[in-house]
Amino acid sequence: MSWGSSYPGPVTSVGDPWEDREGPYSLSRYVTEQPTKDFFIPYLNGPAEAEDLWSRFAARHPASRRVYSLTYTHNDQKIEVQVGQERKVYSRRGGRGGYVPGADFDRRGKREGSTVLAIVDVGTVIEIWSVFLSGRWANPSIVDPWALERIQYFKPAAP
């Protein structure tokens, strides 16, 4: 057994160290949806290539989990992220004069950035890797688990 530097403590090569965890820190303040999708990375020709690229994304975090989609808030915006799609950003509704305190998010989101390739749940942070284009989004983008509203993992790999 080796002691990893990331949550949840000891990392072993046998078993899933995350099996009893609902999400980062097991917080109940956001929704963890049931896994419905098998693991994939867009634009690749098969599972072997996807596994190879995943091993590079998660190289520094051997106990990380594969995330399919999530929703989080940042800078008074709600951001939906899904593997294989561009991010969808929802701003708060404004009145004629602009900002309205406590206003709800607009129903029409705006697609931004490039296609998301992988979302890595490290435990202490979440990394979002996307097709590199210079511009607005860092690669990887880092999300604090405290900003999450919803998360959905990929189905676990078959034994």
Tens of pLDDT, residues 54-100? 988 888 888 889 999 999 988 888 899 999 999 998 877 666 666 66
Distance from C-alpha of 64 to C-alpha of 102, rounded to nearest angstrom: 36
CB neighbour list of residue 106: distance below 8 Å, 6 or more residues apart: 90, 91, 92, 93
Across the chain, which has 159 residues, the per-10-residue mean pLDDT values are: 42 47 50 85 90 89 90 87 92 67 72 88 90 73 90 84
* Amino acid letter, residue 11: V
Answer for the pair 113, 87: CB distance below 8 angstroms, yes or no.
yes
Query: According to the model, what pLDDT value does residue 132 have?
Result: 76
CB neighbour list of residue 51: distance below 8 Å, 6 or more residues apart: none
Burial of 125 (0-12, 13-18, 19+ CB in 10 A): middle
Burial 138-150 (b: 16+ CB within 10 A, else e): eebbebebeebee
Tokens representing residue 152 in the block: 């959905």
Is 14 in a helix, a strand, or coil? coil
Query: According to the model, what pLDDT value does residue 101 have?
Result: 67
Distance from C-alpha of 107 to C-alpha of 103, rounded to nearest angstrom: 12
User: Does pTM top 0.75 for this prediction?
Assistant: no
Query: According to the model, what pLDDT value does residue 84 have?
Result: 94
Distance from C-alpha of 74 to C-alpha of 62, rounded to nearest angstrom: 27
Query: According to the model, what pLDDT value does residue 114 have?
Result: 83
